[in-house]
Chain A
Amino acid sequence: MAHQTRRDFLKTAAIAGATLTGISSNPTKAAQQNVLSENRMGVLVDTTVCIGCRKCEWACKTAHNLPTQPLESYDDKSVFKSMRRPNDKELTVINEYPARSWDDYPTTVKVQCMHCDKPACVSACIVGAFSKVENGSVIWNGDKCIGCRYCMVACPFQIPAFEFEKALKPDIKKCDFCFDRTKEGKLPACVEICPNEVLTYGPREELVRVAHQKIQLYPKRYINYIYGENEVGGTSWMYLANRHFKELQFPALGGSPAPGVSEAIQHGIFAYFVPPIALYALLGGVMWINKNRKPSDSDSEGRHE
């Protein structure tokens, strides 16, 4: 429903835009997409088998031409002392949460963009620089972005990062689901390198089924919850864990899409431009009545404005 209204509104806006400005879209500046394909891909992250080797961090940087230390240096576990977040130089990071008892292992959690099914960033971006594309990736178009950082305000997972220290052409940086690789049929870099098969890449629907199966088969190994299955309307990246996700610092979010309320209000105010035009007509009527009530004054009127 919400999806439908959004599409409707976009369509109206696009038609109005095309007629008003007479500008037809060209391929590089094409309108953003927000498709929710049946066959969109996803990744299932099984945190119970992650050993915290941080190879995915290295692979991600390498795949995105970000400066990185040699792979060996990633054995250094001291970075786990404090929580880290993805930023403009690291699109994904691993955090470690200490074991709860002597017979337990620490849990390591990979963090990156969740590639929401109803992404707040796509809804919010002022110029439509973000798109949710066919294969499930949420990607950013650097040609459009004006650097307003509203996407950062909107994202419920606090993912988009901004190059604050750049005076010219600062970028928004976030995991792009290795769109350039998947396009060519390759696996996302992090999925490819992971030595323990923590990351399973596949159609999202299938992954949900697999995840439920795993939970059923190993009820002792997993808590009965798939983080991302329903959060903010579902995400392409989903997680399994052996303890409550709150302990792993996942934000507690409901099942309703993050952009839902604001899009409903927005649509209410701008339903085919009826409310603004109605207000205009109303004010015009009031003005006309008031003016005619005092015909003697209307001559001196013009001068004052």
Chain B
Amino acid sequence: MSDNLKPTPIAHKFFTPGVIFLSVLAANGLVFLLGRFLFGLGAITNLDNQHPWGIWIGIDVAAGVALAAGGFTTAALGHIMHKEEYHVIVRPALLTAMLGYTLVAVSVMIDLGRYYYIWHPLIMWNGTSVLFEVGMCVMIYLFVLYIEFLPIVTERFIGRVNLPGVLKRFNNAIDKFLRVLDKGLNKTMFVFIIAGVVLSCLHQSSLGTLMIIAGPKMHPLWQTPILPLLFLMSAVSVGFPMVIMESIATSKSFGLKPETHILSNLGSMVAPLLGIYLSFKIGDMVIRQTFVYLTEFNTASVMFVIEVVVGIVIPLRMFLSREISKSPTGLFIASILVIFGVLLNRINNFIVAYTPPYQFNTYFPSIGEISVTVGFVALEILFFRVLVMIFPIVSLPFASTLRTKFSIKGV
């Protein structure tokens, strides 16, 4: 089935009402972002000395990293386990990871009080700092992702370098360079692919270790020494649902037929992953006897129950059902629930669970913080759209690539 599929730039008109809406959201976010740089963090955010971290860390960074896990999980499946049939999803997942991590890096930067010192960790090391390790891993992984993306760029331009005017005479040289680059990358790519998976395992788990040092400041429902394991497991289980969700959304938006067969095969792998994650989460709760906190009725207990029931139990049941995992709609909804669950988990860990010993007011994100976060998500979707229209990322039926005009109906 995948034989006659080939990654192809999608020909489609760029602006649709949806795109215009997203652009407005992105612009709104950028306005507030400008405010942050002009007037400081305090002016735009609701952060204070009791609540040093808000949604820019909890959502943009922590959840952003988790939701970009599709990149390394599909790389592991497609390249390391060498499952040919999944190659069609590797590239979209890679692109999402690349964009996702780029925005994670930007989010870290805007949240830093002294953003212009973002390079300091490169030369000022602190081996005991979990944040240092996360920072380094994310930085190297981002670099690896760009390298993994390079072959797509060379593929797009080899034989098609066509600079205008005076630059024309460089065309040949650039083409040659691209060919050499492509050949070199081809031979060494396995090094980067494995490195990407290792780095991902490292920082996905270390992101969980991050909050352990907060000790009793963190609600016992979430504070556990196995946090790194839980973070890794949840990241691994959200990888495929992210790919499924994106693949279906891309198909819808460009009017293509979803790869239901491949996606439901992917979906069949989600249930066991979610199951393991759930059992560790429940097991941890039983061993540490934190279920007593569930008898209290407060934000923490409610959020915890939603996270586990809506974000793990229900989608687990859905992925186990044959009918649901055969239908794109069913897969889509189940995937959205898993994504919601992991997103909520990161928000819970970094924001809801964090209760400083001296609290004068509670933290709720400001309009500015929300605007920037929403704006970044909108930007990411827009970039994704631009890049799949420029580069061969989404696989289309081979024959139709010659006559794209007819096989793609506009939406």
Q: Enumerate chain A interface residues (CB-CB to B < 8 A).
A: 6, 9-10, 12-14, 17, 21, 23, 29, 31-32, 83, 85, 87-88, 120, 122-129, 144-150, 152-154, 156-158, 161-167, 169-170, 249, 251-253, 258-259, 261-263, 265-266, 269-270, 276, 279-280, 283-284, 286-287, 290-291, 293-294, 297, 302-305
Contacts and interface: CB of A to CB of B under 8 A. Distances in A.
B112 interface: yes
Given A126-B129, A150-B129, A144 B358 contact: no
Contacts of B272: none
A153 B211 contact: yes
28 contacts: A9-B127, A13-B125, A120-B213, A123-B129, A126-B132, A127-B121, A145-B117, A146-B114, A146-B121, A147-B112, A147-B114, A148-B131, A158-B49, A158-B357, A162-B49, A165-B43, A166-B40, A251-B216, A261-B213, A265-B209, A265-B225, A290-B82, A291-B82, A293-B82, A297-B84, A304-B78, A304-B91, A305-B189
Contacts of B201: 279
A302 B197 contact: no
B212 A261 contact: yes
A108 to B, nearest CB: 17
B50 interface: yes
A6 B117 contact: no
B86 to A, nearest CB: 10
A280 B195 contact: yes
Contact of B127 (A12, A149, A157, A161): A12
B374 to A, nearest CB: 22
B125 A17 contact: yes
A129 B131 CA distance: 13
Contacts of B78: 304
B298 interface: no
Contact of B128 (A157, A253, A259, A269): A259
Contacts of A170: 40-41, 113-114
A150 B131 contact: yes
Contact of A262 (B43, B76, B151, B212): B212
Interface in B161-184: none
B52 interface: yes
B168 to A, nearest CB: 29
Of B121, B125, B129, B206, most A-chain CB atoms within 10 Å: B129
Contact of A165 (B40, B91, B123): B40
A154 B198 contact: no
B127 A10 contact: yes
Nearest to A21: B123
B129 A125 contact: yes
B53 A128 contact: no
B216 A128 contact: no
B228 A265 contact: yes
B125 A31 contact: yes
B361 interface: no
A127 B124 contact: yes
A259 B209 CA distance: 11
B212 A156 contact: no
Interface string B193-212: 11101100110011001111
B129 A128 contact: yes
A283 B131 contact: no
A6 to B, nearest CB: 5
Given A258-B215, A280-B198, A161 B49 contact: yes
A129 B126 CA distance: 9
Contacts of B114: 145-147, 169-170
Contacts of A21: 122-123
B50 A10 contact: no
B126 A125 contact: yes
B213 A167 contact: no
Interface of B: 37-43, 45, 47-50, 52-53, 76, 78-82, 84, 87, 90-91, 111-115, 117-118, 120-133, 135, 148, 151, 155, 186, 189-190, 193-195, 197-198, 201-202, 205-206, 209-217, 225, 228, 354, 356-358
Nearest to B208: A265
Given A127-B132, A162-B113, A283 B197 contact: yes
Nearest to B229: A265
Nearest to B81: A290
B213 A262 contact: yes
A285 to B, nearest CB: 10
B183 to A, nearest CB: 9
Contacts of B120: 126-127, 144, 146
Contacts of B84: 294, 297
B354 to A, nearest CB: 8
A85 B356 CA distance: 12
Contact of A283 (B80, B127, B148, B228): B80
A166 B197 CA distance: 39
Given A21-B122, A126-B135, A303-B155, 11 more contacts: A122-B128, A124-B128, A149-B113, A150-B129, A153-B354, A154-B214, A158-B356, A259-B213, A269-B228, A290-B82, A304-B90
A280 B213 contact: no
Given A83-B358, A270-B133, A276-B198, A305 B151 contact: yes
A265 B130 CA distance: 9
B118 A146 contact: yes
Nearest to B357: A251
Q: Which 9 residue pairs spanning A and B have beta carbons closest together?
A: A147-B113, A164-B42, A13-B127, A290-B82, A152-B52, A128-B126, A149-B52, A167-B40, A127-B124
A199 to B, nearest CB: 22
Contact of A149 (B53, B81, B121, B130): B53
Contacts of B48: 164
A55 to B, nearest CB: 24
A158 to B, nearest CB: 5
